[in-house]
Amino acid sequence: MNFFGKSAKVTTGMQVAILIIFAFLFSVSVRLTWVYWADNMADSNAFKWNNEFMVTTNDSYYWAEGARDLIFCDKNNASMGEYYQRNCHQENDLSPVGEPLPQLTYFLYNILPFSLETIMFYLPVFGASLVVVPFILIGGRFKFLPAGFIAALIASIGISYYSRTVAGYYDTDIFNIFFPMMIVWLLALSLKTKMGLYVLSTAVTMALYKWCYPQGYAIEFGFCGMVILYIIYIFLTKRDQSENIFNYQLLSIMLISIMGAPLIVRLAIVTILYLLIFKREVGKPLYILAGAVIIFLLTDGFGLIIDRLNSFIFQRSGTIGNEGLQFFSVAQTIVELQGISIKDIPLRTIGSVSAFIISLIGYAWLCLRQPVMLVMLPLLGLGLLSLWGGLRFIMYIIPVTAFGMGFFIFRVTELINAYIIKKKIALFVSAAFVCAMTVWSLYNLVEHAWFNKSNPVFDTNEVKLIEDFGKNVNREDYVVTWWDYGYPIRYYADVKTLVDGGKHSGDVNFAPSFVLSHDEKSAANMARLDVEYTEKRAEVIKNNQSIPNNNIAWMMQEYGFADSNSFVLSLKTDIKLPEKTRDIYLYLPYRMLDIYPTIMNFSHLDLMNSKSRQPFFYISRNFEDTASTLFLDRNRGKNFYYIDKQQGKLITPPPNSNALSLKRFAVIGYDNQGALYKNIQNMHYDGAYSLIFLRSYNVFLVIDEAMYNSVYFKLFYLEEYDKNLFEFVAGNPLAKIYKLKI
């Protein structure tokens, strides 16, 4: 099968270049459908800030903060102004200024005539599309170029990969298939040609991948494992062990490239080792390999694998132990970390079960034709971990399915041409088959790209509130909110946060959860304590002093409490607080309502034994209001709540249905000017629950007294708060900001 025809005077190199350009433009075009969709929305301005599209995932703001700080800290960039240069980056602010993605963005900002926001938004579009390069290079080098081209088209918009590299998804996922497939290409060439230059290229690419995406370390270790298996195969099946000499050298340099050391150190040692082995032919291969293994182990190379597996796969319990306290585990609250069904794998890779089966047949066929392609198995293995580790792993199966489908189509056309004698008929049939199968393979993927759209993280009104707030506070001040909003707040307001998308383990989540879901006095004390202890921890760690691993245990130790319950109760009193070193603000968004039950899980439990003491909280958007009854579930399934309006009682679901008295009914909303109005009717004096209708959002809530008196409800929905503890700063119906006064 030749796309260019026998008469076309096009070299293989030119064919590769033309197909790379075509596949790249295809990938870019599909990703730009998001821009077309957003631009044609009736409220397209909701997707923009300062006339620029906003990024579409929370984690994007982490990298954005680092890129912004690199630009603002550039003393040669006078256009940023003295204000930003003076406040560009603070100690302990967690800004990733040293990470590859912000540094790449900073580099592009300095050479391209575009704003930071434009570069961030479009970098996934063009960066992720580079994934087509290794697929076509592999196809060209191993003489199945059409298969590589088809694989490139499929992989570039494979569902899981596309979902994490769509326009605005500014994240390190753009490296997730490109680098592994470049390693596959170079490693396959190394094993096939036994050339030292390819070994060096493989090691350098592995070192760069680990630098750009440390989470991909397991894949790199898997590639080393494939070389080890090949060494064992040669040892067991061949008398002549000379081939293994090269394999020892290859494995040695690969292990050094991923050892636990800074990038520059790894690159330097890899280069020196390459020159000694392949240019000077110094040392015995087995001794060099033994040394590489020792260095790898001494730099905790194997320990990193265990850590990755432990964090993504094994930490699934409801609580995690820390300093004798039992904290709620965040792993079970993040959707992408939850194990999936085996049925989801085909749908999240190539779009259908039938295409998935064909692609696996094609991959097996490919390995029979080119056994060196077995080096892709670590990608398949890691992808299957999605059954336990969640959605983030599925994308690694995409290269296997893409190449499998591409090679299947390629081989079938070869058979067609071999068995149909008349060449014109063979050409017509094979061309029709290629077109039909390629379109069929791509249809579900393109359809997914067209119909599955993601919105920006924040509404423009929220961004305006946060950015205006940031202009009037100190860079050292803290904003206490839930971790989902940590990165965006740091980007737009340039302040500090206690938790964010990378710092949200159960022990650090306890304090923000406590502040948001407990009474005002306890919450205010906890906010001051946790902020001051967080800052103090950074100073203590600098001096290598020994302290408890989490702030709660440290507070209990210094305040003389052995029981966390006694410590929590003490927060209701006027305890002596640490000296105030900075201001603290609370960010309370409406969008937090849906995840509020999850937020409560982190602090409404007994830290001594992990027993939950969950308050009552029920949300309904699917209600039906009749003359006598308010059905909180319009569908009225077997488990639903409803309100008996005549008696003013909440009726709980069977089989143990109870009629619970309502203490009050509150209607809360906003007028056309955004001013709050509320109407609260007292019902049963001994009632334990409140029915709240959020008119502006068309939502009913049923909550108990603990929730009604929590900071989130008192300050955001009711705007009733202790003015000795809090001060209203700014707000709108979407979010409100308060200042802590103690």
The answer, yes or no, to whether residue 265 has pLDDT greater than 70, is yes
Domain extents for the chain?
12-31+130-451, 33-127, 460-591, 616-740
What secondary structure letter does DSSP report for 70?
H
| CA-wise closest residue to 641 among 650, 649, 616, 700 | 650
Across 137-157, average pLDDT: 96
Helices 423-451, 12-31: inter-axial angle, 10-degree rounding: 30
Across 293-312, average pLDDT: 74
Report CA-CA distances (Å) from 345 to 159, 401, 518, 587. Answer: 10, 11, 41, 38
Q: Per the structure block, which two tokens stand in for 190?
A: 């190394």
| CA-wise closest residue to 665 among 680, 678, 676, 677 | 680
Asked if residues 235 and 241 have their Cβ atoms less than 8 Å apart, the reply is: yes
Q: Which residue has the tokens 């937090």?
A: 592
Q: With residue 736 as reference, give the H or E element that holds it.
A: strand 735-740
Mean pLDDT of the chain: 90
Q: With residue 731 as reference, give the H or E element that holds it.
A: strand 726-732
Torsion of CA 337, 338, 344, 345, to 10 degrees: 40
pLDDT of the residue at 324: 80
Across 197-214, average pLDDT: 95
CA contacts within 13 A on the Cβ side of 621: 5
- Give the model's confidence band at 85: pLDDT under 50 very low, under 70 low, under 90 confident, else very high: very low
- Give the model's confidence band at 83: pLDDT under 50 very low, under 70 low, under 90 confident, else very high: very low
Question: Amino acid identity of 722?
Answer: D
pLDDT of the residue at 488: 95
Q: With residue 328 as reference, give the H or E element that holds it.
A: strand 325-328
Asked if residues 66 and 97 have their Cβ atoms less than 8 Å apart, the reply is: yes
Residue 665: count other Cβ atoms within 10 Å of its Cβ.
18
Task: Give me the DSSP letters along 98-163.
Answer: TSHHHHHHHHHHHHSSS-HHHHHHHHHHHHHHTTHHHHHHHHHHTT-HHHHHHHHHHHHT-HHHHH
pLDDT of the residue at 7: 46
Report CA-CA distances (Å) from 400 to 135, 165, 252, 711. Answer: 11, 19, 27, 50
**φ, ψ for residue 632, nearest 5 deg:** -80, -5
306-312 long-range contacts (CB < 8 A, ≥24 apart) are 308/215, 308/217, 308/218, 309/218, 312/337, 312/385, 312/389, 312/390, 312/392, 312/393
CA contacts within 13 A on the Cβ side of 500: 25
What secondary structure letter does DSSP report for 652?
P
pLDDT of the residue at 282: 81
CA distance 629 to 252: 74
CA distance 53 to 603: 36
Highest mean pLDDT among 30-44, 283-297, 444-458, 710-724: 710-724
Query: Which residues, other chains included, contact 52 with Cβ-Cβ below 8 Å and sequence gap of 6+?
Result: 115, 117, 118, 121
Asked if residues 105 and 74 have their Cβ atoms less than 8 Å apart, the reply is: no
CA distance 267 to 203: 8
Helices 242-257, 217-237: inter-axial angle, 10-degree rounding: 170
The answer, yes or no, to whether residue 79 has pLDDT greater than 80, is no
Q: Per the structure block, which two tokens stand in for 650?
A: 């909440």
Percent of the chain whose pLDDT exceeds 70: 92
Across 186-205, average pLDDT: 96
Across 155-168, average pLDDT: 95
Report CA-CA distances (Å) from 722 to 631, 712, 729. Answer: 35, 13, 14
Asked if residues 146 and 406 have their Cβ atoms less than 8 Å apart, the reply is: yes
- Give the model's confidence band at 139: pLDDT under 50 very low, under 70 low, under 90 confident, else very high: very high
| CA-wise closest residue to 144 among 16, 302, 31 | 16
CA distance 505 to 95: 18
The answer, yes or no, to whether residue 81 has pLDDT greater than 60, is no
Q: pLDDT tens across 407-432, in order?
A: 999 999 999 988 888 888 988 999 99
| CA-wise closest residue to 556 among 570, 545, 543, 546 | 570
Asked if residues 385 and 313 have their Cβ atoms less than 8 Å apart, the reply is: yes
| CA-wise closest residue to 256 among 206, 322, 311, 307 | 206
pLDDT of the residue at 307: 65
Dihedral angle sign, alpha carbons of residues 143, 144, 146, 151: negative
Query: Which residues, other chains included, contact 503 with Cβ-Cβ below 8 Å and sequence gap of 6+?
Result: 94, 483, 486
The 3-state DSSP class for residue 96 equals coil
Asked if residues 53 and 183 have their Cβ atoms less than 8 Å apart, the reply is: no
Question: Amino acid identity of 636?
Answer: R
pLDDT of the residue at 543: 80
> Is the preceding peptide bond at 655 cis, omega within 30 degrees of 0?
yes
Question: Residue 463, Cα to own-chain centre: how many angstroms?
Answer: 21
700 strand-pairing partners: 620, 693
The 3-state DSSP class for residue 334 equals coil
CA distance 28 to 49: 23
Torsion of CA 343, 347, 350, 353, to 10 degrees: 50
Q: Which residue has the tokens 């039992």?
A: 326
Q: Per the structure block, which two tokens stand in for 518?
A: 């407990």
CA contacts within 13 A on the Cβ side of 156: 33
pLDDT of the residue at 186: 97
pLDDT of the residue at 414: 92
How wide is the angle at C-alpha 92 spanned by C-alphas 91 and 94, nearest 5°? 115
74 strand-pairing partners: none
* CATH code for the domain defined by 460-591: 3.40.1380.40
The answer, yes or no, to whether residue 674 has pLDDT greater than 90, is no
| H-type alpha helices, 654-720 | 705-708, 711
Q: Per the structure block, which two tokens stand in for 43?
A: 């409220």
The answer, yes or no, to whether residue 724 has pLDDT greater than 70, is yes
CA distance 681 to 664: 6
Q: pLDDT tens across 386-396, in order?
A: 887 778 889 99
Q: With residue 588 as reference, give the H or E element that holds it.
A: strand 584-589
CA distance 329 to 337: 12
Burial degree of 345 (CB within 10 A; 0-12, 13-18, 19+): buried
The 3-state DSSP class for residue 543 equals coil
Percent of the chain whose pLDDT exceeds 90: 72
Helices 132-141, 178-193: inter-axial angle, 10-degree rounding: 20
